[in-house]
Chains A and B, each alone.
Chain A
Amino acid sequence: MELGPLGSKVTGVMLRLCLLAVCVAAAAATNTLVLVDTLATRETHSIFLKSLQERGHELTVKVADDPSLQLSRYGEYLYQNLVIFAPGVEEFGGALSVETIVEFIDGGGNVLVAGSREAADLIRELVTEVGVEMDEEGAAVIDHLHYDANDDGQHTLIAAPSSGLIDSEVMVGARDAIPLLYRGTGLITDADNPLVLPVLRAPSTAYCYSPTQAITDYPHATGQNMLLVAALQARNNARVVVSGSLEFFSDAFIMASVQTPQGASYERSGNGRVVEALSRWVFMEEGVLRVVSIDHHLQDQSEPPVAYTIKDDVEYKIKVERLVEGTWKPYVANDMQMEFVRIDPFVRLTMTPSSNGLFSVKFKVPDVYGVYQFKVEYNRVGFTRLYSSTQVSVRPFTHLQYERFIECAYPYYASAFSMMVGVFLFSLVFLHHKESPSKTKAD
């Protein structure tokens, strides 16, 4: 996509060459559809869109009610990612609807949605589908203790302290102390829903209400229970980020300086860094893990047996890689666990990592036979869900594998052998005994 059809041929060609180079670098370009209210958004949010392009996204910017919109053709998705920067859209154009977007997420697509104070019902309906609720129309996040000096007076331009960011470097980048600018509505989520993550919590003193009306009802969202940015990683690893503020991603906020009422001032807001990290995360460029190989065998062998016997000493190895800057690199962590499961886990051990991404663990098979699974389920904030299970059977000892020559069983051995000797001798004597004639006479 070119930003604006104007321009000399020279720069046009250069731009295209550059894009080509980027595309080649990022082996498989990802297609990203950006829906906007007006095309001016691609200029007001040019830093964000440019950073996507530089990272190899093929951007298609369209107005959200464009009648030619479609996400899939002949059952295949045309885009991997969807950005909805259209809080005002009353109805999507073309084949797009809340249902198709939910299907898109079910099909593994990633979505970034930004709302605003005046977000239309359509956007509210969409975010409700991913477990996030936007506050009522007209309500704004207000904080009389954490606002930026450029605020228009209502204290709705929040300088949210970075301490409200989720504790996950994968999602929001390295933590620093620079506040984030935010102007928009508050988000409410169900705290018991483990799939929805609080990316940015509001400060304790914030609340969401109409700034021009006196508070008569209890505000829907107050303090740290209110989210400014929420994320969902669905069970199929599709990612969705919801922000109550479209301006959070804008050039103006990214380039703005921040001055808090407490007197601290910062040359640049923290938005640029967080937006970059968050968009990397939501579009599957960060925090993506995969299982490369699985290996299990007896400790002194290298090939897996047909079946394990109870009390065998087993070694299990799994190789995991992480996507770093477009290439797969070994993943190292010391909290990867392996379970040996027969309906319930019988063994759960933390595996030893190594620098080549190989995690290994040694253990003794339980003395209960049956059908087991080696199971690795790695679910950490910010990372894709890693799941691997390998079925093996565990059988009891064959009769040969039991202990032999048990001292306390000597009476049994002795009686069995004496019986055998007895039978042999008795058959010999019984069949071939010759009565002595003297004896016969005596009888």
Chain B
Amino acid sequence: MRRGALVILALLGVSSALSPSTYLTPGDKERLKLVLEPAWSLSDLAQVLYASAGYKHLGQPIPNVQGVCNFVKSSVSDGVTVETLFLASSAGKALGCPIEASASSVQAVSEAIREGASSQELFHAVTAASNLGVDLDAAKVLRATQMALKKDDSVLSLGYAFHVGAQLRGEVGSIFERIEDAVVQADEVDGRMLQFEGGLSITALVLSGAYKLAEASNKAPPIKPDQAVKFANYLMSRKSVQMSKGVYYLLEAVSMFTNNKFHVPVAITLASNVAVSAEAPQVQVRVTDLKGNSLGSLKVTANSATRESDEVVIISKEALTPVSSAEGVYELDVMSRGPDRGFYRLVVSVDAPDARLVGHTAAQLTFKVLTAIDIQGVEIGTADSDQSTAPNLKKVTYPNTLAEVLVADQHQRVMLRFVVRDTASGRPTEVHQAFVKITHIDSKREIIFVAETDANDIYKFDIDVSNSMKEFGGVSGVYSVELIIGDASISNPTLWHLADLSLTFPEAASPTQPQDYTYKVRPEIKHVFRSPDQRPSSVVSRTFTVLCVLPLLMLLIMWAKLGVNVANFPITLSAFAFHVGLAVILGLFCLFWLHLDMFTTLRYLFMIGIVTFFSGNTMLSSIAAKRKE
């Protein structure tokens, strides 16, 4: 018997463990309001509808209602579309200033209800008609809707049809039957959410339509309670929506889920911080609908509280006591049971006096028990690698830093040992993070080591300086040694600078790497020009100039003494031409030296050379002939 009950309980636990784990918190509501706010610039009718309906759902007063009403009214004139009529009349309804029906609008609405119209158009027309107080021929609407669904039976089209059906008086069973068709098309996400393809607006439209239609026809919708919870989970997962249209649909559907005759999902959430400690020993649970409203006084029971790491049960079947200061919040003192630190799974159920409530059994919540730790028996020091001498360890107490700087070289080891003690139980304990961070003070380069426990839960950290040269990059210098103690279930995670350490690595071991200039300014390079050779003094050069000119002078003087003459100069053109040519060639060489370039010089030389050559030839042959005579 008892086993049977346990199995049923377990099944219940599995099937409804998906209670909505969140609701629209005041922060969410404020954010949604901010998304809607820009509509009050009154530039777009649709935005005004979204904002006025959204504000109504949020329970917010609408600023400047009269102005908004006037804007809505002014947007309805003769010849406007049914869609505009729908937007304006719905906005008017939400604002509390109904639009009055005019002859042309009545006509437009009734004309819109025709066979061949899409279900969206029908939805606009029917909603506008009901807002304007125009009576419609239900049978005609129904026929048109059936036609529309035949043409397009997508989820979206069905969603509009449900809204149409909900607003009709009379028999709408043919539309009601289609709810099931829509629901089966929902996709499951992660096993805990249901949505329709197309996202938030379609899902919300179909849901609100289906429930409204079910209410109108007074029959429970073919949606199972766990499906309702999954839909609610999806809506809650989308509460960070940023488009005003999305906000409008979200709020429509959430309001529907808080106020309908069939399913009201219950959000069971932690009201207190996830962490429970000696200072805050209570686990508080909030039981609300999706909008965060209290569901009245309920009996809330903690089925169990189990430690996740070792499945130790600390609480089973205990009632939570209501908190007087906050409605819908229930609490349980956990710390009085002396729990070990760690994560606990709390399974909470709510006894539902109201049959509409769903997702209220076996909601799983997680809390963690925090305890403080302290670090004791801290000893840091050095020892020789070959263990020839006893290690030289010094005691440090938290939060002090060792006054002296430890010195170690490649023949030594650096050792650290400490105990992490749970202050609540007084026993040594293990933590998730027990790291030793060693930071080079100049370069800020950090190296992190993991301290490990031995059999007695004493943490040890031991490095051989020569073996860990690679980690340190062989960089000698002063390093700071910091201890990081952290765990998700301790209340005082610690970063403690406990000592400074001067490490010396052999010089050769640290090869200087070429500087990397990838993203940096490179050093400037200035070209060093070759310096001119040293020149002799002007006295020397002048002396030698004179010496060089001397032979010519001596030649001239000796010729003068010898009595040189040119009396044999033949008075012929060729003789003149030859000597003048020779002189010009020599002159040309001077010009070449001064400013002519090679090719110009060669050209001139060629011309003068020919003249000189032939005239010289003629002259020499005439001289030779004369000599022969």
Binding site for B on A (CB under 8 A): 3-11, 14, 38-40, 42-44, 46-47, 50, 142-145, 149, 151-155, 194, 204-205, 207, 209, 211-212, 214-215, 218-219, 222-225, 250-252, 255, 257, 261, 311, 335, 337, 339, 345-350, 364, 366-367, 379-381, 398-400, 404, 406-415, 417-418, 420-429, 431-434, 436
Contacts and interface: CB of A to CB of B under 8 A. Distances in A.
Nearest to B556: A425
- Bin the interface of chain B by size: 35 or more
Interface string B216-246: 0000000000000000000001101111011
B238 A407 contact: no
Nearest first, the 6 closest Cβ-Cβ pairs linking A and B are A144-B486, A434-B567, A144-B493, A411-B544, A418-B552, A415-B548
A348 B568 contact: no
Interface in B554-588: 555-556, 559, 563-570, 575, 579, 582-583, 586
Contact of B202 (A4, A251, A399): A4
Interface string B576-620: 000100110010011000110110000000000000000000011
Contact of B199 (A14, A40, A404, A432): A40
B59 interface: no
A429 B566 contact: yes
Which of A11, A411, A425 has the most C-beta atoms of chain B within 10 angstroms of its own C-beta? Answer: A411
A203 B156 CA distance: 48
A43 B84 contact: no
Contacts of B620: 431
Contacts of A149: 273
A45 to B, nearest CB: 10
Nearest to A197: B519
Given A379-B519, A418-B552, A433 B242 contact: no
Contact of A436 (B433, B519, B563, B569): B563
Given A346-B527, A366-B529, 10 more contacts: A6-B205, A10-B46, A11-B245, A205-B493, A207-B435, A251-B240, A380-B519, A404-B594, A428-B579, A434-B566
Contacts of B563: 436
B425 to A, nearest CB: 18
Contacts of B243: 3, 46
B551 interface: yes
Contact of A337 (B521, B594, B597): B521
A78 B518 CA distance: 33
Contacts of A412: 548
A423 B559 CA distance: 14
Given A46-B242, A145-B486, A205-B495, A350 B199 contact: no
Interface stretch (B125-133, B283-291, B502-510, B535-543): B535-543
Contacts of B205: 6
B242 A154 contact: no
Given A411-B544, A421-B552, A153 B368 contact: yes
A153 B275 contact: yes
B246 A43 contact: yes
A184 B583 CA distance: 97
Given A46-B243, A350-B521, A366-B527, A423 B586 contact: yes
Nearest to B620: A431
B442 to A, nearest CB: 16
Nearest to B536: A408
B545 interface: yes
A252 B240 contact: yes
Which of B47, B197, B488, B518 has the most C-beta atoms of chain A within 10 angstroms of its own C-beta? Answer: B488
A418 B548 CA distance: 8
Nearest to B491: A261
A413 to B, nearest CB: 8
Interface in B429-469: 430, 432-433, 435, 437, 439, 446, 448, 450
Contacts of B523: 348
A185 to B, nearest CB: 17
A311 B83 contact: no
A206 to B, nearest CB: 9
Which of A7, A8, A11 has the most C-beta atoms of chain B within 10 angstroms of its own C-beta? Answer: A8
Given A4-B199, A144-B486, A424-B583, A43 B525 contact: no
B330 interface: no
Contact of B518 (A40, A209, A367, A379): A379
B437 A153 contact: no
Given A40-B199, A346-B527, A424 B46 contact: no
A353 to B, nearest CB: 13
A215 B433 contact: yes
A100 to B, nearest CB: 27
B343 interface: yes
Given A4-B201, A142-B433, A429-B566, A348 B519 contact: no
B551 A6 contact: no
B183 interface: no
Contacts of A144: 432-433, 486-488, 490, 493
B597 A348 contact: no
B511 interface: no
A107 to B, nearest CB: 24
A21 B590 CA distance: 78
Contact of A153 (B366, B524, B619): B366
A222 B482 CA distance: 14
A429 B564 contact: yes
B101 interface: no
